[in-house]
Structure 1
């Protein structure tokens, strides 16, 4: 569903060089970090500060490195396992 929303917004604004980076949904900010073949969507509740955005971007970059190192992009079970492990165990900095 997020893929469809992302494609719609990018097509509606006819911006080829820009990517949809976040979506506000009720009390959540859904942050999209785009990579070459996929993107990672992270839902954040509360205040989405610049510091949190940078920390989340770095965290998602590290996850992307793990996905590429383990070559699991096409292995749904391994990918879900990696994502659950990383997100459950990570504690973001509180401000």
Structure 2
């Protein structure tokens, strides 16, 4: 199978909070992998494909927050999301987390 991902993924478990932009509905879960471009969130109540969301990932006392869109969703399992916009500060924070994981 051809690998289509544009950024390496790292097996990182982070606390995740998701808010749907249109409805304000909130859900929580944990990441099972993270990249610079998106993540997979394990949750029993994933949002539907195409839903615009705000993702908050927590690591220690730091929080990464960004807009995102649900790329694929598996009811009862979780959802893959693509990050859509974040500040350079947020990108640097995420890059730091991923650098720590890739070294260990």
Query: Would you call these one fold, judging by a TM-score over 0.5?
Result: no
| TM-score (structure 2 length as normaliser) | 0.27
| TM-score (structure 1 length as normaliser) | 0.29
Choose 1 or 2 for highest CA Rg: 1
Give the number of the structure whose residues are more often helix, by fraction.
1
Give the number of the structure whose residues are more often strand, by fraction.
2
